Structure 1
């Protein structure tokens, strides 16, 4: 499995954390990342309203020709978005581990305000250790 990148999107649709692990996402500018994260937030909001029986949990996996986007939507409406290789089967458990790192290293930081950009060296280090090791 190859992880291309990770986004954390707050409940308002703002990109609060972005990390690239392979060449694909590193070609995007900071502004492009912000716009795309907001667009993905909108798509998720729309898909959560669609469904044959009413509302749903929204898009969880989006597959393209060469990559896959997996979305974990938390109870606080924070979204964790993982960009991986197309044939990855371990994205969901990996996103759960990212969420655990966020809860432990991000939210327990006394200088971090919810919904604001995550600027924690401890969080960065743990995410790099978790996702950086997935490169094939």
Structure 2
């Protein structure tokens, strides 16, 4: 399993959490990550409208030559985006576990404001356990 990074995007398209797990990703500025998260949010909204049959939740996987981006959309509109190697198939099982850690540590924290950047130590510890970073 090669995980490059994790993004959490709120329902308005703002990046509320970003962590590079592996040195395989280019180092970008915080502003560049914010722009990419907003762009992905827009692309996701467009792809949810493109489905020729029925309703769609939008793009779930975007693949490139050297990466795969797996998007997990929650019922509240929060997006969890895992960047992995193209051959990695663990994202489908890993993303629900990351969401569970988020629900247990961030959303149950009385000092966390929803839709705002995540600064919860318990979440960082759980991610380290899950992703080995």
- What TM-score results when the alignment is normalised by the length of structure 2? 0.96
Shift of 1:24: 3.2
Aligned counterpart, 1:115: 115
Distance in structure 2 (CA, Å) of the matches to 1:57 and 1:82: 17
Contact 1:15 1:37 in 2 (8 A): yes
Structure 2 matches for 1:69-108, cutoff 5 A? 69-108=69-108
Unaligned runs of 5+ in 2: none
4+ long deviations beyond 2 Å: none
Unaligned runs of 5+ in 1: none
Aligned counterpart, 1:58: 58
Shift of 1:113: 1.0
Distance in structure 2 (CA, Å) of the matches to 1:7 and 1:57: 18
Which structure: greater helix fraction? 1
- What CA RMSD, in Å, does the superposition of the two structures yield over aligned residues? 1.1
Q: Could you say what secondary structure the match of 1:23 adopts?
A: coil
Contact 1:20 1:26 in 2 (8 A): no
